[in-house]
Amino acid sequence: MSSKQIDDDGNFTVGGKKYSLLGTNLPVPADVSMTGKAITEEVLLVANLDLRACPACRESTEGKLSVVLVTENYRLHPSRCCCQMIWLTEVREEREQ
């Protein structure tokens, strides 16, 4: 799966066919996973964000919406400008009661 195969609506295109990633299990690479092992997590939300610059190459994205795939613990931004799959981890803090 490459960044160019994921469109702004969260669809994965392969062989000329589009498949919605919403509700599917997304493979999370071992080097990104909090467990250190490759895992999968369900895509819970597909969002479009107005980023000012690409988080990887810092190219201006002014005026363009960027898709982000949201799972319980991870965020995936498939960057179009530098063809990077940018992974972010959701960090939760335990609150004292």
Does residue 96 lie within any of the structural domains?
no
Does residue 94 lie within any of the structural domains?
no
Q: What are 13-64's pLDDT values in tens digits? A: 999 999 999 999 999 999 999 999 999 999 999 999 888 888 889 988 777 7
Lowest mean pLDDT among 6-15, 56-65, 68-77: 56-65
Q: What is the 3-state secondary structure (H, E, C) of 38-83?
A: CEEEECCEEEEECCCECCCCCCECCCCCEEEEECCCEEEEECCCCC
Q: How many domains, the chain?
A: 1
Does residue 32 lie within any of the structural domains?
yes
Does residue 95 lie within any of the structural domains?
no
d(CA 31, CA 38): 8
Residue 27 C-beta-side C-alpha neighbours within 13 Å: 7
- Report the relative pairing of strands 25-28 and 17-20 from DSSP bridges: unpaired
pLDDT at position 75: 94
Domain that holds residue 80: 3-89
Does residue 37 lie within any of the structural domains?
yes
